[in-house]
Amino acid sequence: MGIVSRGFFGRRREGDAELPPGQYLTHDFPVLSAGPTPRIGLDRWEFTIDTETGETHRWSWADLMKLPSETPTVDLHCVTKWSKLGTDWQGVSLDVLFEDVETSAEYALAYSYGGYTTNLPLEDLLDGKAWITYKFDGEDLTPPHGGPARLLVPHLYLWKSAKWVRGIRLMNEDWPGFWETAGYHNYGDPWREQRYQGD
Amino acid sequence: MRRLPWRAAKLTGIRQETATARTLVFTIPGWPGHLAGQHVDVRLTAPDGYSTERSYSVAAPERGDRVELTVELVEDGEVSPYLLEVLEVGDEVEIRGPVGGWFVWRPERATPVLLVGGGSGVVPLMAMIRARRAAGSSAPFRLIYSVREPDQRFYLDELADPQPGLDITYIFTRKTPDGWDRAPGRITAADLDGVSPGTDSYVCGPTGFVEAAADHLIALGHAPDRIRTERFGPTGG
């Protein structure tokens, strides 16, 4: 237990038991990003998966819309301490996109319009754990929240759910992304409170 | 890589900034230092072991074991009312950091800088202004600081003291001082015009403010990769 701060009693909120350590509940949907919000027209939007052997799989917006979608309801945990529970999304499971991808790579780097990157083990993108989402709460995903399409990997801190996602590069070696090179944890499991390097 | 440790932080000074904000000066033995623009995590623990954490931007550059935070009251918040109304000189909290290696200004960089702050988003920008002065930097700085009303400005006396190479413009969104020549209103492209696109821009404030300011800068020809942003929602605190 840490140092007790005189006169602090705190406010236990309903549902706190479900939250990862150090998180608090919010009902807003705060926006955090490191630069301006890119605007990407759907006519020139594309999503690619590049394998470690140089093979490229490519989807246009129309291609993405033709794929079967899912409607996951998930909890979001931001490294800046807020958590938002029971959020409703619609998107395509990465399992669908990886169906015809042959790879033995262990690592993935998600990259975005605007230049953002974030890394994660490939296995964290598969088996129903991640989606390319394009609707939030039944509405088209707005640009400040990552629209037209955003990677959603809800079991990791939200910075891993790359906004404005443009592709995933598969690699034999791990390659730290934007926040991962700026002092944040390489993996980012909220339940183990992996916020910063060394946590 | 060693984990960033929680350190005991004793409150050693208080400056009231506005009716709803104050600067807290902590002394933290063993503090490793920080860059202007970085933030820290503050942890409060209750006698029964319950604890909660929040992040705050540092308001002043590195100076030994001193860390200054400016905290604004969040209505219905859990932590900011404690920091503003309960915490007294001599009390202790825990702090770890510094955190964040992107929204920072380094004194060795001579490139002109544009700082655009909305409300308490001015805090990390003030750390940059103070770091510039402390380092004797001659990098041209321009601060555009948007608040609802004149009495909501932080650091008013310090910013009223002229510094060579620092240009300050206030924007009032709801009520202006008497005789002010700009009508009250949100930030527009005209407020940001005339800044060279070769400038490094730092924009900090609530989401709507940051979105608007960054969009105006891009429309005025600034490169997206020269605009660094930090946003916060009306949440938590």
Any idea what the CATH number is for the domain that residue B37 is in? 2.40.30.10
Residues 6+ apart with CB under 8 A from B195: B114, B142, B201, B217, B220, B222
Q: Which residues of A touch B101 (CB under 8 A)?
A: 181-183
Residue A94's domain comprises: 20-28+44-192
Residue A68 has pLDDT above 70, yes or no: yes
Query: Six-digit token pair at B187?
Result: 């930030």
Average pLDDT score over chain A: 94
Tell me how close the Cα of B86 comes to any Cα of chain A, in angstroms: 7
Residues B174 and B213 in one domain: yes
Q: Number of structural domains, chain A? A: 1
Residues B119 and B224 in one domain: yes
Residue B201 has pLDDT above 80, yes or no: yes
Mean pLDDT confidence for B54-77: 94
Q: Is residue A35 assigned to a domain?
A: no
Residue B42: the pLDDT is: 96
Distance CA B14, CA A183 (A): 30
Q: What CATH number should be reported for the domain holding residue B194? A: 3.40.50.80
Q: Which of B48, B65, B99 is the last residue of a domain?
A: B99
Q: Which of B65, B99, B133 is the last residue of a domain?
A: B99
Cβ separation B235–A28 shorter than 8 A: yes
Average pLDDT score over chain B: 94
In chain A, whose CA is at the least distance from the CA of B8? Answer: A3
- pLDDT, tens digit, for every residue of B117-135? 999 999 999 999 999 999 9
Q: Is residue A51 assigned to a domain?
A: yes
Query: Six-digit token pair at A29?
Result: 């949907």
> Roughly how many angstroms between the first and final C-alpha of chain B, as a whole number?
30
Mean pLDDT confidence for A66-88: 96
Mean pLDDT confidence for A96-112: 97
In chain B, whose CA is at the least distance from the CA of A82? Answer: B236
Print burial letters for A99-111: b (CB count within 10 Å at least 16), e (below 16). Answer: eebebebebbbbb
List % helix, strand, coil for chain A (3-state, nearest 5): 15, 30, 55
Q: Is residue A141 assigned to a domain?
A: yes
Mean pLDDT confidence for A12-20: 69
Residue B1 has pLDDT above 70, yes or no: no
Residue A98 has pLDDT above 70, yes or no: yes
B1 versus B104: the higher-pLDDT residue is B104
Q: Where does residue A38 fall: left (phi above 0), alpha (psi -120 to 50 degrees), or beta otherwise?
A: beta
Q: Which of B43, B71, B99 is the last residue of a domain?
A: B99
* Contact assessment for residue B5 and residue B41, using Cβ atoms and an 8 Å cutoff: no
List the single residue in A1, A33, A37 with the smallest CB-CB distance to B45: A1
Query: Six-digit token pair at B154?
Result: 């932080």
Residues B41 and B91 in one domain: yes
Residue A15 has pLDDT above 80, yes or no: no
Tell me how close the Cα of A82 comes to any Cα of chain B, in angstroms: 7
Residue B41's domain comprises: 7-99
Q: Is residue B107 assigned to a domain?
A: no
Q: Give the pLDDT band of residue B235 (cuts 50, 70, 90).
A: very low
Residues B85 and B120 in one domain: no
Residue A27: the pLDDT is: 83
Residue B93 dihedral angles phi and psi, to the nearest 5°: -125, 180
| Best CA proximity match to B113, nearest among B187, B204, B211 | B204
Residue B2: the pLDDT is: 78
Q: Number of structural domains, chain B? A: 2
Q: Which residues of B touch A24 (CB under 8 A)?
A: 52, 78, 236
Cβ separation B78–A11 shorter than 8 A: yes
Distance CA B36, CA B109 (A): 13
Tell me how close the Cα of B232 comes to any Cα of chain A, in angstroms: 7
Mean pLDDT confidence for A135-139: 97
Q: What Rg do the C-alpha atoms of chain A give, in angstroms?
A: 17
Cβ separation A36–B217 shorter than 8 A: yes
Q: Give the pLDDT band of residue B236 (cuts 50, 70, 90).
A: very low
Q: Which residues of B touch A80 (CB under 8 A)?
A: 55
Please list the residues that pair with B17 across neighbouring strands: none
ipTM of this predicted structure? 0.88
Q: What CATH number should be reported for the domain holding residue A166? A: 3.90.420.10
The sheet that has B39-45: what strands, in order across it? B51-57, B39-45, B92-99, B7-18, B21-27, B66-72
* DSSP-derived secondary structure for B8-67: EEEEEEEEEEETTEEEEEEE-TT-----BT-EEEEEEE-TTS-EEEEEEEB-S--BTTEE
Q: Give the pLDDT band of residue A13 (cuts 50, 70, 90).
A: low
Q: Is residue B212 assigned to a domain?
A: yes
Q: Give the pLDDT band of residue B237 (cuts 50, 70, 90).
A: very low
Q: Is residue A10 assigned to a domain?
A: no
Residue B25: the pLDDT is: 98
List the single residue in A2, A5, A36 with the smallest CB-CB distance to B91: A5
Residues 6+ apart with CB under 8 A from A25: A13, A15, A16, A19, A82, A83, A84, A85
Q: Is residue B65 assigned to a domain?
A: yes
- pLDDT, tens digit, for every residue of B132-145? 999 999 999 999 99
Q: Which residues of A touch B52 (CB under 8 A)?
A: 10, 22, 24
Q: Is residue B2 assigned to a domain?
A: no
**CA angle, corner B229, sides to B227 and B231, nearest 5?**
160
Q: Is residue A136 assigned to a domain?
A: yes
Q: Is residue A133 assigned to a domain?
A: yes
Residues B146 and B227 in one domain: yes
Residues B58 and B25 in one domain: yes
